[in-house]
Every structure is written in structure tokens, then in C-alpha cells.
Amino acid sequence: MSAARRWAALMVLSGSLLVVVMDMTILNVALPALSADLRPTSGQQLWIVDAYSLVLAGLLVTMSALSDRWGRKRMLLAGFAVFGGASLAVLAADSPGTVIAVRVLLGVGGAMIMPTTLSMIRTVFPDPRERATALGIWAAIASLGAAVGPIVSGLLLEHFSWHAAFLVNVPFMAAGLLAGLLLLPEARDPHPGSWDMVATVLSIVGMVALVWGIKQFSKAGILDPSALLAFALGALVLGWFVVRCLRRPDPLLEVRLFSSPSFTAGTVAALASMFAMAAMLLLVAQWLQLVEGHSPLQAGVRLLPMALGAAVASPLAPVLARRLGSRTVLAGGLFVAALGFVLMFALPGPLSYPVVMVALVLLGTGSGSLAIASAVIMSSTPQAKAGNAAAIEETSYDLGNVLGVAVLGSAAAAVYRAELPVGLLTGTGLGEQTVLAAQESLGGALDIAAETGSAELAALARSAFSESLTQISLAGGLALLAAAVAVFVLTPRSLDVSQGH
């Protein structure tokens, strides 16, 4: 491939990833309008939100293995068609059930697209130095997608119905399908071995159960029986899956890749980065809207410093890695992101947006290590197994996202409740049931304050949420520091992703 065609192909791959990542956050803003129109039950609302990520998590390994056998270009173009078709099908969605079905199809399409974009970069850029730069751009656009999703959704909802949050995908997928046909080369594993149907079922059941259990922990608490059962089932089934893959000469997923310390370090860095970004986006978005009083669109704009930091740092990361060493940049990025969290905890006085903005910039800048993490993972992998490596990396992103929301989100909720003890709330004249509702969430407390006209309750709840965000920032910072140390220890000093080793 000529240089111009390679970089044009990268734009196709990165642009398609941008749309898929945007779809993870774009519905959060559109959900109130959708709920007002279709009147879903609380359970249906949860499935509308969760169906996408559950299907995506369950199918990443299977779709990656299929792409290695069937052809990565074919899988990617089929993913464009499924994702675009599902987005268009929302025009026929006249009930919560049909919206859930659309979200399931979007998850299928997303699982076909996400890991394939990464494995295709391994094919399109055989030169390690070029590939490191390409992965930096890919990582920057992935970070941008998470931040601009709420902004795009807010803009669309100001002028159109909630259907626009889905329909915006259609022209992007159509353009990707056409450009992909013209620009992308075909690639596959020449010796894939026989298909392991048992491992396929194990990977799907295990990942869906694990992700659902983690989500349920965040909603119902760590002692919820259904969450414990799902988590235990997921761990057991995935353990069986790993053992089966280790025993087969032609495994569905090459888990032996983890025998490389640098591959493991890259995976840990990817998981930790997404853990931090997902939690920060969730909590700060709520703080901007419910404490600071901004609209969803205004809040989305104020989250952009994270995306801007990532957009600058990710393409620069390979250059820094050549000068300072891959290990320094990989672990250093996590350290910079940790500083962003610790900053919100350490600075005295009430939490303010200037402090949050600096923290977002540091977190986005630190996420530039994702570019090196991807380069480390792909440089440690033979081209024939690029789909396997991509599946592992994308799974680490998905798990990091779910864990960040579940772990830090649940911890923030616990601190919020602790900051609003029953005695304090009853002193404002609230009854027992109302107190419990106010302790459940900031949104619930503000609704009660509006109904009762209690400005004191609103002030107490906002103060409690700000305190919870401050306290959880320390926990997030410490988690990232631990990940930075682990990555520094695991990564060989001589690792040079620009040389492919």
C-alpha cells in the first residue's frame, strides 16, 4: 500500500471507532426524551442502557476469532452494515422492546467493528515506527469519542427527536462501508485451525455474566445475591474458557500472549486508563449538571479538556517513547493521570470547575499512554494473531469502563450517603421514606427539595456529592498509581515499539 492509502485507511478505521465509542455515551443524554415518549419501565430503561455493553462484551472474542478466519476486511464491512442498519431500524421502534432489540444489534455491530479496527492497523502498517504513530492517532480519536458523545447528543436533541441519537450513525457507517471497500486490504490467519464451539459459548456466557454482575454490584450493592451469583458464574466459566484455550493447539483465543510481560503491561495500562476515564466522565458529568447547574450540552463542552489532552498527548506518545523509552511513557502516562485525580482531593477549599478542568487535562494527557499500550500489545503479537490481541485489548477497555463506573461509582454513592446521615436530614423536616430517597442519589434529593421547597436539603445534597467526588478522587488516584508501578515493573527496559520488539 502507498503511504497516502495507508493513512487514508487509518482515517476510515479511526472514524468508525469514533462512532462506536460515541454510541456508548450518546444515549445517556437522549434517555430522558426517549423515556418520555415510550414510557419504559425502570427495568426496561436498564436494559436499553445495558444491552449494548453486555452484547459487545460477550461477542468481542468470538467476532475477533471469526475475523481472523473469515477475513478482517469482510468482518469490518459487515460490522458497518449491521451497525448502520440497526441505527436506521430505530425509525420503526415504537416500543421499549424494539429499542432494546436495536441496542442488541448495535452491540453486535460494535463487536464486529471495535477489535477489527485495531487488528487492521497491524495489517495496514507493517512498519513498527509508522504503526506506533498510527496507534497514537487511533487512541486519540477513541478518547475523543467518549467525550463528544454527550455534546453531539445534546446538539441533536435541541433540534430533533431522540431518534436522531441513533440516526446520526447511518451516514458515518455508509461512508465507512464505501471507503473501506476502496481502501482496506484483506487479511486473515492462514492457519486458523478448527472452530471451537464450546469455547465460543464459554466466552459469551462468561463475559456477559461477569459484566452483568459488575453492573449489578454498582446498582444493588456488593451483597446483592443476583450480582454475587452472576459474578461467580462469570469467573467460573471464564476460568474454564482459559483452561480450554491453554490445552488446545488451535485455541479460540491465544491466552498464551499473557506470557509476555510487555503484553501484560500493555493490557493493564489499557484497563487502568479506561477505569479512570469512565469513572471521571460519569461523576464529573453529574457534578457539572446537578451541582453546578449546567445543561447536558454545557456539561459536555466542559468535559472537552479531557479529550483535548488526549488528542495532543496520544500522537506525541510514540515520539516521546523513542526518546525516553516505552516503559517510561507507558507508566508515566498512568502517573500523570493519577495526579489529575489526586489534585481534586489535595487542593483545599470547595471543589470548583478550574480545578476539575486541570484534572481533566491531566487525565486526558495521561491517557496518551493508551497509544503506547496499544503499540506494546500489537508489537508483541504475530500478525496472524492480531485479532486475538485486539480482542484482549478491547475487552480490557470494556472491563475497565464497567469497573470504573461500578467500583468508583458505588464508592462515591457510599460516601454521598455517609455525608447525609439520617439525623441531619430529619432535621430538615423530612419523613423516613423521604430521607431514604434523598440518600439514594443526588437527583432524588434535588427532586424532593423541589417538591418540598427545601433549599437546605438541596444545599446539603450538593455539598455531599461534591465531597464524595473529592474523596473518590483519592481512591482513583491511588488505583492508577498502583497500576503505574505494576506496568513499570512488568515492562522491559529495552522495549522499543518503534522497532517492533
Domain termination site, one of 149, 171, 191: 191
Q: Mean pLDDT for the chain?
A: 83
Check residue 387 and give its pLDDT: 73
Domain count within the chain: 3
**Residue 290: which pLDDT band, with cuts at 50, 70 and 90?**
confident
User: Same structural domain for residues 10 and 143?
Assistant: yes
Residue bearing the bigger pLDDT, 286 or 487: 487
User: Same structural domain for residues 293 and 186?
Assistant: no
User: Same structural domain for residues 348 and 485?
Assistant: yes
Listed in sequence order, the residues at least 6 apart from 269 whose beta carbon sits closer than 8 Å to its beta carbon are 330, 331, 333, 334, 369, 370, 372, 373, 376, 483, 487
User: Same structural domain for residues 415 and 334?
Assistant: yes
Q: How far is Cα 143 from Cα 270, in angstroms, rounded to an integer?
A: 12
- Highest mean pLDDT (candidates 13-22, 207-216, 231-240, 278-287): 231-240
The average pLDDT across 65-75 equals 87
Nearest to 134 by CA among 333, 330, 372, 418: 372
Output the domain CATH number for residue 12. Answer: 1.20.1250.20
User: Same structural domain for residues 263 and 280?
Assistant: yes
User: Same structural domain for residues 369 and 400?
Assistant: yes
**DSSP letter, residue 368:** T
Nearest to 408 by CA among 419, 396, 400: 400
Q: How many residues does the chain have?
A: 501
**Residue 500: which pLDDT band, with cuts at 50, 70 and 90?**
low
User: Same structural domain for residues 228 and 143?
Assistant: no
**Residue 306: which pLDDT band, with cuts at 50, 70 and 90?**
confident
Q: Is the pLDDT of residue 265 over 60?
A: yes
Check residue 168 and give its pLDDT: 86
CB of 392 within 8 A of CB of 377?
Answer: yes
User: Same structural domain for residues 321 and 284?
Assistant: yes
Residue bearing the bigger pLDDT, 264 or 28: 264
The average pLDDT across 263-276 equals 85
Amino acid type, 183: L
Q: How far is Cα 342 from Cα 276, in angstroms, rounded to an integer?
A: 12
Domain termination site, one of 191, 211, 231: 191
User: Same structural domain for residues 231 and 185?
Assistant: no
Q: Is the pLDDT of residue 79 over 90?
A: yes
Q: What pTM, to 2 d.p., does this model score?
A: 0.80
E strands within 220-264? none
User: Same structural domain for residues 142 and 85?
Assistant: yes
**Residue 501: which pLDDT band, with cuts at 50, 70 and 90?**
very low
Q: Is the pLDDT of residue 301 over 50?
A: yes
Q: Which domain holds residue 17?
A: 1-191
Q: How far is Cα 413 from Cα 223, in angstroms, rounded to an integer?
A: 15
Check residue 254 and give its pLDDT: 84
Q: Is the pLDDT of residue 249 over 70?
A: yes
**Per-position b or e across 334-357, b if 16+ CB within 10 A of its CB:** bbbbbbbbbbbbeeeeebeeebbb
Check residue 428 and give its pLDDT: 63
pLDDT tens digits for 327-343?
A: 888 899 899 999 998 99
Query: For the chain, how far is it from start to end, CA to CA, in angstroms?
Result: 23
H/E stretch holding 149 reads: helix 128-159
Q: Is the pLDDT of residue 202 over 90?
A: yes
Q: How far is Cα 413 from Cα 286, in angstroms, rounded to an integer?
A: 12
**Residue 58: which pLDDT band, with cuts at 50, 70 and 90?**
confident
pLDDT tens digits for 132-184?
A: 888 878 877 777 776 677 777 778 777 888 888 888 889 989 999 999 999 88
User: Same structural domain for residues 242 and 384?
Assistant: no
Check residue 297 and give its pLDDT: 77
- Highest mean pLDDT (candidates 7-21, 225-239, 310-324, 377-391): 225-239
> What interhelical angle do 197-220 and 386-403 show, nearest 10?
20
pLDDT tens digits for 425-480?
A: 666 666 666 777 777 778 778 888 888 778 888 888 888 889 889 988 888 889 89
Q: How far is Cα 490 from Cα 326, in angstroms, rounded to an integer?
A: 12
User: Same structural domain for residues 233 and 110?
Assistant: no
